[in-house]
Structure 1
Amino acid sequence: MSTQSDVILKQSLRKIEYPLCAKEALGRIVELICGRITSIKHMDLALDLMAEFIFYEVDRRGNKRPQIVTPLQELQLLEIMFEYFNSIPNEAARNSVFLSLFSGTTAMMRSGILSKLISIAVGVSSPVILLSASTWMQQLGCLSANSCKLAEALVHDYFYLIPNAKDRLKTLPDICPQFTANFLTAVAENYYLNSRKDKMFPPKILLEVITMWISENSSLCISAQQKQAALPPGAIAMEVTTPIAGLLRWCILAPLYNQESELYCHLHLALLNSILEIPQTVPAKAIYAQHTIVPISYVMYYVNDLKNQGLNSEQVLNDEKLQLALDRYAQAIQVALSMKAVYGHVDDLLNQLQHLPYNKLLNIVVNTHKRIK
């Protein structure tokens, strides 16, 4: 496409009222990104079309627009994007456009549109859009700020605003298990790590839904690893992070933060059952050792708090909440290591666990696996 034809294309799109011009622009973007012959020039033009005619971020001169789109325009744009993505039959082409629209450099700026689009896809069951969102999360990283922000937006929409979310979301793992698994990985990162007190613990309805999902589908946590994402030619697939370590952290730390809901017991059991059914691979790829180390520092914070309250060493060791947390930790480590589901520096994991206060089960687990090594 010549420079002159680029100018003509933009001029023709400018004659169409926003956001109706977005529909025509999306068609041209697909041609530029997914055509037989692609180039840096084609990609640059596609990015220009996205900024001006889809997201309304710049004017015809490339200057940032001072005004924002109205709620009605945003709703119209979402409808156009929803219908367009559902009309693209080729998964690789759909993912290519999705990844370009919400690239790592623009995703945070466009997070409002993205979260609303995915929220709609969850509500009206669009597996093709959810699958593209799943691929996007993997390529940017399920633990990245972008993925965690998307997860936070979905929690707001479906677990705070909607009272019967459990019924609405029951079938989400059947509609798109890959997206559900990646959502779980991201949402697990949003709790039991955050210093904001109002966001420290997951809402009860979210805990209920997650427990239900994993209890009823023991393979859900590794679903995103079971299917290779369809990517554009030359793209490198990023490693998938499962939600197992993050959700186990919830269960381990819950007693230390006085979160006494029995749901944590049920979730813990569901996660252990899930690990037991993970197919063994060489090398292992289900649980990253470094992620399983995270609870250690939080347990030690709790221990130091007890000591600061004047408790002696024996009283600390006899603390019921501490021992429950360590029991759950030990159970998780034992099952994960026995199933050969942990990858990374397992020796470092075992060494770090030895820094924790004495727990009979944890001591047996660590010593047993050290002997095996």
Structure 2
Amino acid sequence: MSDIRHALLRRDPLSAAKEVLYHLDISLGSALQSSTGPTPGLEKSTVELVEEFIFHVPKDRNIQPKRMSCVQELQLLEIMCSYFQEQSKDAIRQIIFSALFSLQGNKADESRMAMLGKLVSMAIAVCRVPILECAATWLQRTHSAWCVRLAQVLMDDYCTLVPCAISTLQNICSASPRFCCQLITAVTALYDFSSDELTPPPALLEMLVGWITEDPRLLLLTFINTPLNSSLPLGCLEITPLLGLLRWCVKAPLAYQRSRKLALTNGHGESEKGTAYEELYSKLHLSVLQVFLMLQVHLTEQNLIGRLAVLPVESVAALVEEVSRLCEKLMPLPAANHIQLALDRLAQALQVAMATGALLCTREDLRTLCSRLPHNNMGLLG
């Protein structure tokens, strides 16, 4: 391996990176074809080559790394796009993608994430489905904190920096539904309504509601296609976007009322943002309830009713705590209607989740869990 490294050091950065990618394809492809057991892993020396010549983290601190120019980096991204598009074997694509972008807990991880964000963004722009499918697997198996980082990059590229680019992202749903399911889960983790900056952009909200209204089953793709015996790493994203979307529907009226309070306190006029998107959140809430009913059919068919909690009680308890704190902060204001709407949505969703087997707890346990909340019109909470 030292001979390979010395040969790579004599090349220009783009040529060296292409050679490492070729080396990965040959070595891992051959290992996968001859292996009958678990997926083969990378040797430490190969990982070091990837880090040094693709992500430019020098093995030797005394050697100045050869940095790519912006043009060279774009060329490398195009080479990667072409490689994943032309590789006909999905297993090899997945293992190469994992070899490149699985986080190692070292200083190369920041470079990995920067390259990954650019590659997935490019794959969306030019509709490279194989890369999106690999990214979907990455989002499923990586710690949620890194998934949120990737989601932020994509939201910056397609919602913030060039708002009209959202139409390009919107078209990806029919090309790679599995990627879109994982992306929804990631963006609901990103936009948690903890501040105005972490409120879903209007264009994103409209796009997601359109996706889900057209095909509610989209939200269950990861769950349905994940083997029951597979063990996902601790801290990864939820198995469905349902909890995140429920959080959006419940917290939206409270968060927009909070924004109104801040605007009035700072001497600004009232924002029309809340009322403008009430209908979208109502549609989203209805879709979430419909998906719980679809989920019941799947759980019943797989004999999983009462055995598998899709909404963990701990996660529901955390949501109830968040809602309770928001309600307390809004109580002095004439916010009764907004609070009541949030509580009614929470009550409806939890009732349906329990009835369909997605939430495993008794009605009394739920009352205890929600005891800090104000009373709601449905009499199910507080």
What TM-score do the two structures reach when normalised by structure 1? Answer: 0.82
Aligned to 1:222: 220
Asked if residue 44 in structure 1 is aligned to residue 44 in structure 2, the reply is yes
**Aligned to 1:340, which of 343, 347, 357?**
357
Asked if residue 103 in structure 1 is aligned to residue 120 in structure 2, the reply is no
Asked if residue 293 in structure 1 is aligned to residue 317 in structure 2, the reply is yes
Aligned to 1:54: 54
CA deviation after TM superposition for structure 1 residue 164, in Å = 2.9
Per-residue CA shift, 1:212-235, capped at 9, x if unaligned? 011111111111123248xxxxx9
Letter in 2 for 1:180: C
Once the two structures are aligned, what percentage of the paired residues are identical? Answer: 32
Q: Name the SS for the 2:43 alignment partner.
A: helix
**How does 1:285-324 map onto structure 2 within 5 Å?**
285-307=309-331, 309=332, 319-324=336-341
CA pair 23-107 structure 1, distance change in 2 beyond 3 A: same
Q: Name the SS for the 2:163 alignment partner.
A: coil
> Does the CA-based 8 Å contact 2:246-2:285 persist in structure 1?
yes
**How does 1:1-373 map onto structure 2 within 5 Å?**
6-34=1-29, 35=31, 36=34, 43-58=43-58, 61=60, 65=64, 68-104=67-103, 105=105, 106-141=108-143, 144-194=144-194, 197-228=195-226, 237=232, 241-258=239-256, 259-260=274-275, 261=277, 262-278=279-295, 279-280=298-299, 281=302, 282=304, 283-307=307-331, 309=332, 319-342=336-359, 349-363=366-380
> Does the CA-based 8 Å contact 2:121-2:154 persist in structure 1?
yes
CA deviation after TM superposition for structure 1 residue 39, in Å = 11
> Does the CA-based 8 Å contact 1:329-1:362 persist in structure 2?
no
> Does the CA-based 8 Å contact 1:131-1:176 persist in structure 2?
yes
Moved over 6 A (4+): 37-41, 344-347
Q: In 2, Cα distance between the equivalents of 1:98 and 1:139? A: 12
Q: Which region of structure 1 is more displaced relative to structure 2, 161-170 or 78-87?
A: 161-170
Q: Name the SS for the 2:200 alignment partner.
A: coil
> Does the CA-based 8 Å contact 2:123-2:129 persist in structure 1?
yes
> Does the CA-based 8 Å contact 1:32-1:43 persist in structure 2?
no
Q: In 2, Cα distance between the equivalents of 1:64 and 1:218? A: 54
Q: In 1, Cα distance between the equivalents of 2:48 and 2:166? A: 41
CA deviation after TM superposition for structure 1 residue 298, in Å = 2.6
Q: In 2, Cα distance between the equivalents of 1:66 and 1:113? A: 17
Q: In 1, Cα distance between the equivalents of 2:244 and 2:80? A: 32
What TM-score do the two structures reach when normalised by structure 2? Answer: 0.80
> Does the CA-based 8 Å contact 1:188-1:243 persist in structure 2?
yes
Q: In 1, Cα distance between the equivalents of 2:366 and 2:73? A: 48
Q: In 2, Cα distance between the equivalents of 1:117 and 1:362? A: 50
CA deviation after TM superposition for structure 1 residue 89, in Å = 2.0
CA deviation after TM superposition for structure 1 residue 303, in Å = 3.2
CA deviation after TM superposition for structure 1 residue 299, in Å = 2.3
Q: Name the SS for the 2:190 alignment partner.
A: coil
Aligned to 2:268: none
CA pair 302-10 structure 1, distance change in 2 beyond 3 A: closer
